[in-house]
Structure 1
Amino acid sequence: MSHVVVINGPAGVGKTTVSRVLARSHPGAISIAGDALRDFAPEDVRNSLGAGSTYRAGAALAAAYLAMGATRVIFDYVFDDAEKLDLFCSGPPHETPVSVFTLWAPIDRVIDREANRVGRERMGHAVVRTHEAIERNLHKLGRVVSNTEAPERTAQTIMEAIANPANLWPRPAPENSMMV
């Protein structure tokens, strides 16, 4: 059965690195970096496409890959509140399980990690801003996974947790279903 895995966390926490490790460990997995999707958008994306366009585009791309036969789609991006997760999770087919994991590390570790990334533009204030926003809502953002060890260890923790139904995101019934 196919599965969608959301890797959430503040800017610089290691979402894309962990997502790539997860994708390599599962045949047929696709890893989508939300930052890469955002690069397609125009500067005034909010004005032209509306709020949440990257979440909606990520969900549409995940659904397309599932329709093509991907066994697992991993989407990494910053979800600082549950409403953004709901927006993304409304896109994949309703029968597809969605697991949500929020990577977490102390702010000093995240700042240090971000400052030492090779070949990537510095994110500056976004690191602290996203860390603070997620921290306020951490209890609402899926299973929290410490990302203070090697990415392979964090990925292993997530792989072990994927099979647990407690880690599935609660998705509302589809709009066209009848309530009984």
Structure 2
Amino acid sequence: MPTITVSALITDGERLLLARRPGEPHWALPGGLLLPADETVEEALARELRERLGVEVGEPLFLDTLYERRAQEVVVHNVFAVAAPGIEQAVAQGGGELEYAWAPLAEIERLPLVPWLAPALPALLQGEPAPAPDLTGVPFAVVPPVEAGVEPGTVVIVTGPAGAGKTTVARELCRRFERAAHIAVDMLRHMVVSGYASPLPGQADAEEARRQGELARRNAAALARNFAGAGFHAVIDDVLERREELDEYLAALAGCTVACVTLLPTVEALHARDAGRPPEQRMGDRALALHRTIAANGETRGLRLDTSGWTPEQTVDVILERLPEALVAVGWQA
């Protein structure tokens, strides 16, 4: 599972508050880790600023989620704009194990910032999403849902944490279309007979598991493209933990119309569903960890549904009614 952090962008209009550990060469934004006791990333942010600086923050404004790939993991940084009354005095008094500094905005580009923050900061200071991955030459276009219809050959990605009901919903959704194929990415991963690397933490080399995950997504996209080209709806069910994984699908499905639906029942509902499974099929903490990761990944594209209390049939009813809202890319015509 990726490490999840929260960061506060605090500015007085002329200066930006930065933080670093003593001896570190690079500056970052104030913040810290999302802990198991934190219900939400907003709660984690408030706790970090309260514990480190003794200040209470107002309602944070979500800006973007940035990704940092390290040797053995991916770190997910959630960035919020924050108003923090009393921050000047708190910084002057010191913040314990971290050192803080106010940096003039005019000098930001010359400061040694952590690599994941430096290229994104100008856009964040403007209150805009950070630059998306470079997909130059990829022939797809993101469109407002109201401008597009859902035609035969659409690829629908159904995602969510383990236990959210993705497979059941994906198969039921297929049954509602005249022609549709279900592509289960977990089955594609298990096509590897020798050398299989489980995505479960600690069960395989993390880098090899990541490579096999990317391979499974490419294979799923290739199957979906073939089905879509033959006039079938293709319904992919997969666990997308990071926004980059949806970007991978969009690049591999260039030329196709793509919708994405995230099933995100409450933690309580997810726990109850998991408890109702046979013991050997229960996901336990893994399902809850995935829920936390997906809930905090900052993804705003597509349709995100709280399916607590819904049957699979009711979930599919809502998906079909709102499918145009789920569109994340429309087909490109030469």
Question: Which of the five TM-score ranges fits, normalised by the shorter chain?
Answer: 0.7 to 0.9
Give how far 1:118 is off.
Answer: 4.8
Per-residue deviation, 1:54: 1.9
Cα gap change, 1:64 to 1:47, in 2 (>3 Å): same
Q: Distance in 2 between matches of 1:119 and 1:35?
A: 20
Q: Which has the higher strand share?
A: 2
Unpaired stretches in structure 2, ≥5 consecutive residues: 1-151, 199-206
* Structure 1 residue 169 corresponds to structure 2 residue 320: no
Aligned partners of 1:56 and 1:15: how far apart in 2?
Answer: 19
Instruction: Name which of 185, 188, 196 aligns with 1:43.
Output: 196
Measured in 1, the distance between the counterparts of 2:278 and 2:182 equals 20
Q: Which residue of 2 aligns with 1:127?
A: 287
- Whole-angstrom CA distance in 2 between matches of 1:24 and 1:72: 11
Q: Match for residue 152 of structure 1?
A: 313
Aligned mates of 1:58, 1:119 — CA distance in 2:
29
What is the root-mean-square deviation in Å for CA atoms of aligned residues? 2.7
Q: Percent identity?
A: 29
Q: 1:54 aligns with which of 207, 211, 216?
A: 216
Cα–Cα, structure 1 residues 27 and 118, in superposed 2: closer, same or farther, change >3 Å? farther
User: What's the counterpart of residue 32 of structure 1?
Assistant: 183
Q: Any residues of structure 2 matched to 1:106-145 within 5 Å, and which?
A: 106-118=266-278, 121-145=281-305
Q: Could you tell me whether the CA contact under 8 Å between 2:158 and 2:238 is conserved in 1?
A: yes
Which has the larger share of helix? Answer: 1
The letter for the 1-side match of 2:187 is A
* Structure with bigger gyration radius: 2
Residues 1:19 and 2:170 aligned together:
yes
SS in structure 1 opposite 2:241? coil
- In structure 2, the residue matched to 1:74 is 235
CA contact (8 A) 1:146 1:154 kept: no
Query: Any stretches of 5+ residues in structure 1 without a counterpart?
Result: none
> TM-score, normalised on structure 1?
0.82
**Structure 2 length-normalised TM:** 0.46
The alignment partner of 1:31 has SS state of strand
Structure with more relative contact order (C-alpha pairs < 8 Å, separation 6 or more): 1
Aligned mates of 1:81, 1:49 — CA distance in 2:
12
Q: Distance in 1 between matches of 2:271 and 2:189?
A: 22
On the 8 A contact 1:14/1:147 being kept in 2, the answer is: no
